[in-house]
Amino acid sequence: MTQLIFLYDKLMTAREQQFVGIPFEFLSFAQVNGNLFWWNDGKQRRSCLVQEGIYKNRTSQVVYGSLWKVKEFRWQKNKLYSYYNNMSCYTGNTCPDDMMLPVYTTAVPIKFTSLSNLTKQHYERSTPIPILTFGVNLLNKDMKRWHRARYHKMPGVDKQNFLTLINERRNNNGLE
């Protein structure tokens, strides 16, 4: 079974994918509706998606990331859920201690030729497709507190990891 996944955080980079050990196949850059904020996971900052409709007018309403295909998803599911601090694949339901939840939503694949076109929002949009991504679990008291804090807001892209992905794809696909 193959699953389409929208990634918007550090897992977009080849180094992090190698660390996790899941065979991802890049399909396209994409955008989803929602907001981003960051939270501390030990010594590192991680970005988190807040689904559309949770709150409005806090940060960007569009989150940029990438679409990936995971082959044999049922065998890779445990690794992916563990990476996002979620136990639902083991317990069968959501726990208040889960940091992130699997979210089924739609993503719009985008195609751009240069970074300047992306910043000006001059890119081609395709038809929306259903995907899986991971978003905030508001049952978790820490995540609830962090997503309300003004200083935890992020623009609609995890800039450092997105640029790393663009540089990796530039070497493979010939982006300008």
CB atoms within 10 A of CB 5: 23
DSSP per position, 105-122:
EEEEEEE-SSHHHHHTT-
pLDDT at residue 25 greater than cutoff 80 = yes
Q: What is the pLDDT of residue 176?
A: 44
- The rounded distance, in Å, linking the Cα atoms of 134 and 57 is 21
HSE, side-chain direction, 13 A CA sphere, residue 154: 24
Tally of domains in the chain: 1
**What's the average model confidence in pLDDT over 33-45?**
76
**What's the average model confidence in pLDDT over 27-33?**
90
Q: Domain containing 114: what range?
A: 3-173
Whether pTM > 0.75 for this model: the answer is yes
pLDDT digits (tens, 9 = 90+) for 40-69: 677 777 777 877 665 555 555 888 889 999
pLDDT at residue 173 greater than cutoff 80 = no
For the domain that residue 85 is a member of, what is the CATH number? 3.10.490.10
